[in-house]
Structure 1
């Protein structure tokens, strides 16, 4: 566990006004898939505990996902897509969120999501589609967080150096307090965490979040 009492008061997470952002945890990104991200499947247990913790605390949860179509895909994957490689396509099981992270059975609504609308799973739980790396890029996430009175984003999920990292950078640009749950995020290393701490991102462990909510 970390000693959060020593943090600067301007970056210390406010858990009682926080939201959990679960980034890109979808079946196609699990280790046993052709385009899987190493370590993601191993983090499902911690991610399940984290989502249940936020649900129990009554705090917002946003499952932020990718959906790739021919007309809207980032440059780095265009060649693969043109060669026939398919990943998190709408209406495929590969795009689905692992069931253990959800409050109930969910059928994603790609047409709704890809217009920028959120899919509501409950009063405090949502799915958001992001077309690029950051959960804030071309999404309504910032506006939704403001409406919910959120000032702290707690990030977990798939492949830290890409989408979680981009999301954390944008969160600090928007003056959110920002934290990453390192043992519930794939692609984490000491060097990568040290690289992002200078912009005010707080590294946490799942035990820190549990202690913050329930002592």
Structure 2
């Protein structure tokens, strides 16, 4: 019996930090390669929506006073850089991955730790650091819905997705990395994820598995 193989019927799709300020060309904190994987991300999202499977979009919000910002960007924000600032267009999810019922993000609600519904079986949540589980209610939110498998896409593998996958693994979730639906992926990173039991695959494999 495999303890790491995905259970697709009890899985959640998670997107990481796929927001305008990190994704769009020439955005303040553009992560190269993120815009290029948007078509694949959109395909995975559409498949999950069609099957009625849950989706969680994990985002960052940087307050302009720097009070909630990680130390690697804190000084830049305090000096006036505006990256994913609450209630700005830069903090919104990119158009390509929005649900049909998408409504603007409620920054106050998200910063308080709430999950904002943006569609049928689809939510947005805020994280304050690299990992999606750090000081958030993501684990109880997923457990309450009987979810044991987490499928990761988004921006940008070396930082937030990788940290979130390690956190998911140490909480005994089954973890899937959709490598061609995530930016800044490299071969050594794939080997490292595989070595801790992450199921690394591509878009076509996900679509075949859930359809």
Residue aligning to 1:209: 206
Query: Which of the numbers 53, 57, 61 marks the counterpart of 1:67?
Result: 61
Count of aligned residue pairs for this structure pair:
207
Residue aligning to 1:3: none
* Counterpart Cα distance in 1 of 2:174 and 2:49: 20
- Equivalent residues in 2 for 1:1-215, closer than 5 Å: 9-32=2-25, 33-69=27-63, 70-104=66-100, 105-214=102-211
TM-score by length of 2: 0.95
Consecutive aligned runs of 4 or more in structure 1 exceeding 2 Å deviation:
none
Question: 1:31 offset after TM fit, Å?
Answer: 4.7
Deviations 1:39-85 (A, max 9, x none): 00111111111111111111100000000012100011112112221
Deviates more, 1:73-82 or 1:13-22: 73-82
Question: 1:192 offset after TM fit, Å?
Answer: 1.1
Deviations 1:70-129 (A, max 9, x none): 210001111211222110000111000012212223210000000011101234100000
* Counterpart Cα distance in 2 of 1:123 and 1:58: 8
Deviates more, 1:185-194 or 1:96-105: 96-105
* Counterpart Cα distance in 1 of 2:23 and 2:178: 18
Instruction: Provide structure 2 residue ranges, at least 5 long, that are not aligned to the other structure.
Output: none
- Are the aligned partners of 2:54 and 2:121 in contact in 1 as well (CA < 8 Å)? yes
Question: 1:161 offset after TM fit, Å?
Answer: 0.7
2:90 match: secondary structure: helix
**RMSD after superposition:** 1.1
TM-score by length of 1: 0.93
Deviations 1:147-175 (A, max 9, x none): 11100000000010100001000001100
Instruction: Provide structure 1 residue ranges, at least 5 long, that are not aligned to the other structure.
Output: 1-7
1:187 match: secondary structure: coil
